[in-house]
Structure 1
Amino acid sequence: MVRVPAEPSRHRVAVWRELRRIGALSLGQGAWVVPDVPVFAAGVARAIELAHRGDGEVLVLDATGHAEPDTARLEALFTAERAEEWAEFLADCDKFDAEIDADIRKAKFTMAELEEDEQSLERLRRWYRELKARDVFGAPAAAEAERRLTECADRLAGYTERVFQALHQM
């Protein structure tokens, strides 16, 4: 449970952003939930620190569902949040593929373009690791995301070979 004064808003926003970053589920009115697993501990501690900096109050509770349906509902809500994140990740994999396709179509076989694409793939890898770590209940799209990330890496390897060939033919 988090309560941070409305002004200045930067403190509330900082807490909100940190909780969203770690994958916390908002239950409304300052109530947030994450599973009690180590992957969330540092982010929760950071959110508490940010709230205190803004003269806010935080009450951390261990909670379980009153009955099995309550526990299942929380798990389903948390998994639905992860499913949305996986969908966004998959959309970015599609954008990565489209960028590689455009580079090939335009014959942009330069080191600068290759480095940009390598950075994009590294960003996808970091994002995948972060999502995988907080997807503690195993959203169905996780397997598809892993497959797509592998495909992106393979696409970049093929593009890298083309850049190497183009640069060494000059």
Structure 2
Amino acid sequence: MTSGEVPGERFLLLVYRVPSTTSRARVAVWRELKRMGALYVQQAVCVLPDRPGVRERLDKIRARIGELEGESMRFVLDDIDEHERGTLVASFKENSAKEYAEIVEECETRFFKEIEFERFRGNYTFEEAEEIRQDLEKLRRWLRKVEERDWMGAPGRAEATAKVAECEQLLEAFEADVYEREGGSGQG
């Protein structure tokens, strides 16, 4: 899937209703659509670019809505006023840019500080290095997910990628110190 707006791109509009007997069902549908990168234009009405794989994922969500005794309708929007198209594109970019900024913030305020704190404490253990490696894997997965739903090529991608790479370098240096201090034995 390529990032960046495709000239004349079509969009999918989903209008749905999930019974209001429990908020759990509504939240589950909302969460899945947000995970896909849907842009909400109002409650229970969202837009997605008509890209490969999107319709199939949307059909699965629509099936889930049906299982929850809800209803949904999907429309293809291919004749959109240029102003409205620009508004959609700008909104998609803004959403992705915010997510990239959150990744950068997570790297700077949590990941970097965690390694700094463990160095300060002298906690050079294999277990701590493994725990931090798991945090790095979470950051990588998060970045991949944001990149997948960055439909319009939002700003911030390069900075987020660089920060995650910086996290990896910091962790590798920490792991090297752990190895040196533990003598390569793998025991704490």
Give the TM bin, normalised by the shorter chain: over 0.9
SS in 1 for 2:74: coil
Shift of 1:40: 3.1
Name whichever structure is richer in strand by fraction: 2
- Provide structure 1 residue ranges, at least 5 long, that are not aligned to the other structure: none
> Aligned in 2, Cα 1:149/1:41: closer, same or farther, shift over 3 Å?
farther
Name whichever structure is richer in helix by fraction: 1
Are the equivalent residues in 1 in contact too, given 2:132–2:171 (CA < 8 A)? yes
Q: 2:75 aligns with which of 46, 61, 64?
A: 61
Shift of 1:130: 0.7
SS in 1 for 2:49: coil
Higher relative contact order (CA 8 A, sep 6+): 2
**1:144-155 mapped onto 2 (5 Å cutoff):** 144-155=159-170
SS in 1 for 2:151: coil
> Aligned in 2, Cα 1:117/1:65: closer, same or farther, shift over 3 Å?
farther
Q: Which residue of 1 aligns with 2:90?
A: 76
Q: 1:29 aligns with which of 19, 24, 43?
A: 43
Q: 1:98 aligns with which of 102, 108, 113?
A: 113
Taking only the aligned residue pairs, the percentage that are identical comes to 35
Q: Aligned pairs, how many?
A: 170
Q: RMSD in angstroms over aligned alpha carbons?
A: 1.6
Shift of 1:14: 1.0
Q: Which residue of 2 aligns with 1:20?
A: 34
1:53-90 alpha-carbon deviations (Å, 9 max, x no partner): 11111111111453211111100011111111112111
Query: TM-score, structure 1 length as denominator?
Result: 0.93
- Between 1:107-116 and 1:6-15, the stretch displaced more is 6-15
Are the equivalent residues in 2 in contact too, given 1:86–1:141 (CA < 8 A)? yes
